[in-house]
Amino acid sequence: MAEHFQYAIVGGGKGGKMLAGDLASRGHKTVMVERGMIGGTCINVGCIPTKTLVRSAKAVELARHAADFGIRADFHGIDPTGLRERKRSVVAGMVKINRTKFEQSGMALLIGSARFTGPRAFDVQLAGNEVRSLSADHVFINTGTRPILPPLPGLAEARPLTNESLMELDRLPDHLVILGAGYIGVEFAQMFRRFGSRVTMIDRGARFLPREDTDIAEQVLSILKEDGVDVIQSASVQRVGGQSGQEVRLELQTPAGSRTLDGSDLLAATGRQPNTEDLNLPAAGVALDARGFVQVNDKLETSAPGVWALGDVNGGPQFTHVSLDDYRIVKANLFGGNRTTRDRLVPYTLFIDPELGRVGLTEEQARAKGHQVKIAKLPAAAVARARTMSETRGLLKAVVDAGTSRILGAAILAPEGGEVMTVIQLAMQAGLPFTALRDSIYAHPTMSEALNDLFARVE
Q: What pLDDT, on a 0 to 100 scale, did the predictor assign at position 129?
A: 87
Task: Note whether residue 343 is domain-resident.
Answer: no
The CB density around residue 162, as the number of other CB atoms within 10 Å, is: 18
Q: How many domains is the chain built from?
A: 3
DSSP-assigned states of every residue in 111-175: EEEEEEEETTEEEEEEGGG-EEEEEEEEEEE---EEE-----TTTGGG--B-HHHHTT-SS--SE
Provide the pLDDT for residue 383.
98
Burial letters for 257-279: b for 16+ Cβ neighbours within 10 Å, e otherwise?
Answer: eeeebebbbbbbbbebebbbeeb
Residue 170: domain span: 156-270
For 108-157, what is each residue's pLDDT tens digit?
Answer: 999 999 999 999 999 999 988 899 999 999 999 999 999 999 999 999 99
Same domain, 303 and 171: no
Residues 451 and 303 in one domain: no
Mean per-residue pLDDT of the chain: 97
Residue 185 lies in a domain: yes
Q: Are 277 and 325 in a shared domain?
A: yes
Q: In this model, does residue 1 exceed pLDDT 80?
A: no
How many other C-beta atoms can be found within 10 angstroms of the C-beta atom of residue 163? Answer: 19
The amino acid at residue 11 is: G
* CATH code of 307's domain: 3.50.50.60
Using the predicted structure, report yes or no on whether residue 459 has a pLDDT greater than 90: no
Residues 320 and 399 in one domain: no
Asked whether residue 310 carries a pLDDT value surpassing 80, the answer given is: yes
pLDDT at 173 > cutoff 80: yes
pLDDT in tens, 162-171: 999 999 999 9
Give 56's pLDDT tier (boundaries 50, 70, 90): very high
Task: For residues 177 and 44, state if they share a domain.
Answer: no
Are residues 244 and 265 in contact, defined by beta-carbon separation less than 8 angstroms?
Answer: yes
Q: Is 151 domain-assigned?
A: no
Out of 224, 242, 270, a domain closes at 270
User: What is the bridge-based pairing of β-strands 247-254 and 236-243?
Assistant: antiparallel
Q: Residues 444, 431: one domain?
A: yes
Dist CA 418 CA 411 (whole Å)? 9
Does residue 389 lie within any of the structural domains?
yes
Q: Is there a single domain that holds both residue 291 and residue 359? A: no
Inside any domain, residue 436: yes
Section 301-330 average pLDDT: 97
Quote the CA–CA distance of 184 and 200 in Å, as a whole number: 14
Does residue 86 sit in the same domain as residue 197? Answer: no
Taking only the tens place, the pLDDT of each residue in 78-101 is: 999 999 999 999 999 999 999 999
The enclosing domain of 410 has a CATH number of 3.30.390.30
Is there a catalytic annotation at residue 138? no
- Residue 243's DSSP bridge partners are 247
Same domain, 136 and 280: yes
Q: Express each pLDDT in 414-427 by its tens digit.
A: 999 999 999 999 99
Average pLDDT over residues 244-258: 97
Strands 108-118 and 30-34 come out as: parallel
Chain centroid offset of residue 153 CA: 28
Q: Are residues 220 and 289 in the same domain?
A: no
The reported pLDDT for the residue numbered 128 is 86
Looking at 270, 293, 321, the residue that finishes a domain is 270
Confidence of residue 429 (pLDDT cuts 50, 70, 90): very high
Domain membership of residue 251 (yes or no) is yes
Q: Kindly indicate the confidence band of residue 349, based on its pLDDT and cuts at 50, 70 and 90.
A: very high
β-strands 230-232, 198-202: how paired? Answer: parallel
Q: Would you state the pLDDT for residue 216?
A: 98
Q: Is the peptide bond before 119 cis (omega within 30 degrees of 0)?
A: no
Q: Give the DSSP letter string of 61-111.
A: HHHHTGGGGT---------HHHHHHHHHHHHHHHHHHHHHHHHHHT-EEEE
Pairing relationship of beta strands 175-179 and 3-10 according to DSSP bridges: unpaired
pTM recorded for the entire structure: 0.95
Residues 76 and 161 placed together within one structural domain of the fold: no
Q: What is the pLDDT of residue 127?
A: 87
Q: Do 142 and 282 belong to one domain?
A: yes
CA-to-CA dists, residue 301 to 211, 286, 296, angstroms: 28, 10, 5
Examine the pLDDT at 364 and tell me if it is beyond 90. Answer: yes
CB atoms within 10 A of CB 457: 16
Q: Which of 270, 304, 321 is the last residue of a domain?
A: 270
- Would 341 be classed as within a structural domain? no
Would residue 88 count as lying in a domain? Answer: yes
Confidence band, pLDDT 50/70/90 cuts, at residue 413: very high
